[in-house]
Amino acid sequence: MHMTVTGWVYLDGAYIPAQDATISPFDRGYLFAHAAYEVTAVFNGAFVDFDQHLARLGRTLDGLEIERPDVDLRSVHQEMLTRNALTEGLIYIQVTSGMQGPRDYYGPETLTPSVFSFATHKQLISDVARDGITTISYPDTRWSRRDLKTTQLLTQTLAYRAARRAGTESAILHEDGVVTEAASANLWIVTDDGALVTRDLSSALLAGITRARLVSLFSEFETVEERAFTLDELRSAREAFTSSTGVVIAPVLSVDGTLIGTGVPGPVTRKVQAAYYAYLGADLRAYDWL
């Protein structure tokens, strides 16, 4: 899961070396976390579901009352890909409500955005996809608009730190035993009757782009249930996995020390991985563990 930040970034109209990028500490993104972000995967030199990521960014900006930037974000992403010679990895776009004068909760009526983008080289289909992850459960203390992809990631940060201290890789967020999602991914379970279940969309969780793609890939030949489920259902599931842009499909082996199924990636998870990797255009022969 190692990532390497690349040399060129974009900041408010200019492409500059990363070490030269400076952002004011009076930016409202820093003062109030009043900011949105998106991350788009690059595989074999091509963007994955870029239009869907751009649309979600627009919805988040509207929800945060930040003006949509007067920038061709597709061109920015393409230039970032080219300048950083990125063939596989991630491109982040961060849009804050900008530096709007003295610290003031309200600020001006129109919030002029600041736009920052950077890229990372990262292997998307990594050992995590092959081997899976262990998890802990963690209370979901986030604000009530989790459908907006904002930079308010404190709960997720603390969840990952707690998971690391517990000797696991990630955390499953829940409210009173009802699962919302994983710390930075949507969560899926496979029931005893073979159905795929993932949380139904609402303001309680982020509408994942990879999640949506999986629903479309499997709607014709797999049973997909979109509903809430509990930690107890997760513990008794036959299989579980997460879906996200950065880690793609990660088998979940355990939660709080309880094995899920047999404690190894299962056949449905492998089928999901194979279908999504094929969608990406990956050569499935390279992954003899599928």
Flag whether pLDDT at 210 surpasses 80. yes
- Angstrom CA distances, 205 to 34, 161, 175, 198, 290, stand at 18, 20, 12, 11, 29
Confidence (pLDDT) at 289: 96
Nearest to 40 by CA among 114, 154, 119, 156: 119
Confidence (pLDDT) at 6: 67
CATH number of the structural domain 127-286: 3.20.10.10
Residue range 14-37: mean pLDDT, rounded: 96
Amino acid at 250: A
Name, in order, each residue with C-beta under 8 angstroms of 121's C-beta and a sequence gap of 6 or more.
3, 4, 6, 84, 86, 88, 89
Strand partners, 265: none
- Angstrom CA distances, 155 to 38, 160, 184, 210, stand at 18, 9, 10, 22
| Delimiting residues of CATH 3.30.470.10 domain(s) in the chain | 3-122
Q: What is the pTM of this model?
A: 0.94
Confidence (pLDDT) at 3: 64
Regarding the domain delimited by 3-122, which CATH topology (the fold level of the hierarchy) does it fall under? D-amino Acid Aminotransferase; Chain A, domain 1 (3.30.470)
| Delimiting residues of CATH 3.20.10.10 domain(s) in the chain | 127-286
Flag whether pLDDT at 2 surpasses 60. no
Flag whether pLDDT at 220 surpasses 90. no
Q: Of 5-14, 217-226, 236-245, where does mean pLDDT reach its minimum?
A: 217-226
- pLDDT digits over 89-109, tens only? 999 999 999 998 889 999 999
Whole-number average pLDDT of the chain: 95
